Amino acid sequence: MILVFGRSGQVGHELAKLDGVLALNRAEADLTDPEACAKQILNHRPIAVINAAAYTAVDNAETEEDLATLINAHAPASMANACRDLSIPFVHISTDYVFDGSGQDPTIAGAPTNPVNAYGRSKQVGEDRITRSGAVFAILRTSWVVSAHGSNFVKSMLRASQQRSALSVVDDQIGGPTPAVRIAQACIKIAHDLVIDPNKQGIYHLSGQPDVSWFEFAKTIFECTGREIELTAIQTSEYSTPAKRPANSRLDCASTKLTFDIDRPIWKDDLKEILEDLGEIQ
């Protein structure tokens, strides 16, 4: 059995559907109590642990950085310590927000981190503590997670288009939309591989292809649904948010393919399934 934290999140929801998984919800595992999370691992004694739980309210983190760090760093560190004590692998989902988003090339997994907002800092601290824990670990950074469950860009665009006939969408932030179901499948594959070969531990990337801007992503969403929405491409400077966003969220996923034979998902294929699940297309 693989123990999963974060059942209510996008990836956790997909993981909970898979065989051989026990996914814990917030009532069963409170990430504001790191030691309680560790006790769940010690009590269940799984073959591996996947942490799909996180504080993901990027803008709110600017005023709640201590809470974000508790959930995104201290709780995963306690999980990693428990996994170390049981000699089992720990798979942790992280984010492109640990980088500053400079340049235009895909960022390799070994590149220096330099987060530009509180959320990114909280995730960076989590990564650092996991790598120093002594556990067999895999940190899987991803970007622009989407699914039919939870809060994400696809659902935000659909909701906004029900209220307005014209939308402005940022066109100078580039990244790879990543279906939650593909992240879940990758985490399971990585966890099983680490059970067999702990030497595969490390930091890896997984994002959907092709890389696009938010504007291009929105355009594809509405093309699939057939909704006639007037879209205007704008610059990040025209759309103010409390937290700064990285302009370049492209991730180099070559090492993930090389080590685990996991391909970058083609997000357009999964987008259609997401829209079908939401009842937007037949």
DSSP 8-state code for residue 61: G
Distance CA 41, CA 22 (A): 11
- Give the helix, strand, coil percentages of the chain, each rounded to 5: 45, 20, 40
Distance CA 1, CA 115 (A): 35
E strands, the chain, in order: 2-5, 21-24, 48-51, 90-95, 137-142, 145-146, 166-170, 174-175, 178-179, 202-205, 212-213, 230-234, 248-249
Exposed/middle/buried for 202, CB within 10 Å: 0-12, 13-18, 19+?
middle
119 is catalytic: yes
Residue with tokens 């007037």: 230
Which one of the listed residues 55, 119, 204, 239 is annotated catalytic? Answer: 119
Catalytic residues: 119
